[in-house]
C-alpha cells in the first residue's frame, strides 16, 4: 500500500473492503460499526486512492465529486468523519465547510459538530488559517503521507466518538443532540424552549416507559411539592404541537399517570 501519494501521479489502487460489522442495535445497545467517511474530492485518482485505502483500514467511504454532491451525502448518510478538498468545481470547499458548521438550511440538516479534515494543495499559512477559522478540525496539504492522514483521522474519530457518547438520541424520526440542544423531526429542525427541551430529553431517556407527573415535575422543574399546577400539561401540549411537523404525535398523555414518547428505537 502506497504511503505517499502526490495528487498528480496517483493511480487507482484496489483493495478488498472489510466485512460489514453490525450496526447500532435496538434500544441503544452499542455494537461495533463501520464508521462512514464522506470524501469530497474532484480529482478521481485521489478520491479512489483514499476510498480504497480507507476501506481497507476499516472505514466505509462514500465519495463525492463536487460540493453539491458532498452536501447531499453529508446530510443524508450521517457520517462520522468527512474529508473535504478546497478546489471543487462548483464551490470552494471552505463554503461547504462553513455550511456544515452552520447546520445547513432548507430542511437538509448537516451535523455542525461533524469532524472535518481539509485536504488541499493550498499550502500557504493564510490558507491553513482560513481553514481553521471556517471550522475545520485538521488541515493536511497535498502531496500527503497516507499513514499520517490515517492517524489524523483516527484522532478525529476518537474525539467524535467521545462526543457521541455524551448522548445524541434518536427515536424514530425524532433526533436530539443534547450538546447543541438541537432537535429535528424527519430532518427538519424544531425550535424548543429550554423547558420544552428538558422535558423532551427526560422522556427520550426511556421512550417506551410512562413517566409519572411527579417524576417529571421533580426532575424537570425541581418541584418538591406537586400541588395543583398546569405547568407540565401546558409544556407537554406545546411540545407535542412542535414535534408534529411530520404528522406524528411523539408526546403521549397517559391519562391519570403522566407522559411518554411513542414506542421506538433509541440510539446514542
Non-local (6+) Cβ contacts of 162 within 8 A are none
Residue 107 pLDDT class (50, 70, 90 cuts): very low
Give tens-digit pLDDT for 39-67.
999 999 999 999 999 999 999 899 999 99
Strand segments (E) across 2-159: 4-5, 36-40, 60-64, 81-84, 116-120, 138-141, 144-145
pLDDT tens string 217-250: 877 886 665 565 788 999 999 999 999 876 777 8
φ, ψ of residue 119 to 5 degrees: the values are -125, 110
DSSP letter (8 states) at residue 87: B
Looking up cell 459538530 gives 113
Q: Alpha-carbon distance 197 to 187, whole Å?
A: 17
State pLDDT tens for residues 13-28: 323 233 333 333 322 3
Stretch(es) of the chain classified as CATH 1.10.10.10: 169-267
C-alpha cell at 60: 466505509
Residue 173 pLDDT: 83
List where CATH 3.40.50.2300 sits in the chain.
4-164
Assigned CATH class of 169-267: mainly alpha
CATH 3.40.50.300 fits 4-164, yes or no: no
Spatial contact of 245 and 185, defined as CB atoms under 8 Å apart: yes
Nearest 5°: CA angle at 78, between 77 and 82? 95
d(Cα 28, Cα 205) in Å, to the nearest integer?
10
Amino acid at each position: 500500500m502506497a504511503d505517499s501519494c502526490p495528487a498528480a501521479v496517483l493511480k487507482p489502487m484496489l483493495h478488498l473492503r472489510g466485512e460489514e460489522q453490525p450496526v447500532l442495535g435496538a434500544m441503544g445497545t452499542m455494537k461495533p460499526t463501520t464508521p462512514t467517511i464522506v470524501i469530497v474530492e474532484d480529482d478521481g485518482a485521489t478520491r479512489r486512492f483514499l476510498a480504497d485505502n480507507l476501506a481497507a483500514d476499516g472505514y466505509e467511504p462514500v465519495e463525492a465529486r463536487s460540493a453539491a454532491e458532498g452536501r447531499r451525502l453529508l446530510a443524508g448518510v450521517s457520517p462520522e468523519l468527512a474529508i473535504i478538498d478546497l478546489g471543487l468545481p462548483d464551490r470552494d470547499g471552505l463554503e461547504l465547510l462553513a455550511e456544515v458548521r452552520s447546520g445547513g438550511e432548507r430542511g437538509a440538516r448537516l451535523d455542525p459538530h461533524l469532524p472535518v479534515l481539509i485536504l488541499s494543495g493550498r499550502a500557504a499559512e493564510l490558507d491553513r488559517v482560513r481553514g481553521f477559522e471556517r471550522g475545520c478540525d485538521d488541515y493536511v496539504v497535498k502531496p500527503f503521507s497516507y499513514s499520517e492522514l490515517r492517524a489524523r483521522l483516527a484522532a478525529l474519530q476518537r474525539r467524535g466518538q467521545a462526543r457521541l457518547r455524551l448522548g445524541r438520541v434518536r427515536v424514530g424520526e425524532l433526533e436530539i443532540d443534547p450538546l447543541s440542544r438541537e432537535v429535528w423531526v424527519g430532518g427538519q429542525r424544531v425550535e424548543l424552549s429550554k423547558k420544552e427541551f428538558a422535558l423532551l430529553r427526560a422522556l427520550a431517556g426511556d421512550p417506551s416507559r410512562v413517566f409519572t407527573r411527579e417524576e417529571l415535575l421533580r426532575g424537570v422543574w425541581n418541584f418538591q411539592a406537586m400541588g395543583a399546577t398546569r405547568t407540565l400539561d401546558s409544556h407537554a401540549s406545546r411540545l407535542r404541537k412542535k414535534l408534529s411537523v411530520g404528522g406524528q404525535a411523539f408526546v403521549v398523555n397517559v391519562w391519570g399517570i403522566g407522559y411518554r414518547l411513542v414506542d421506538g428505537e433509541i440510539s446514542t
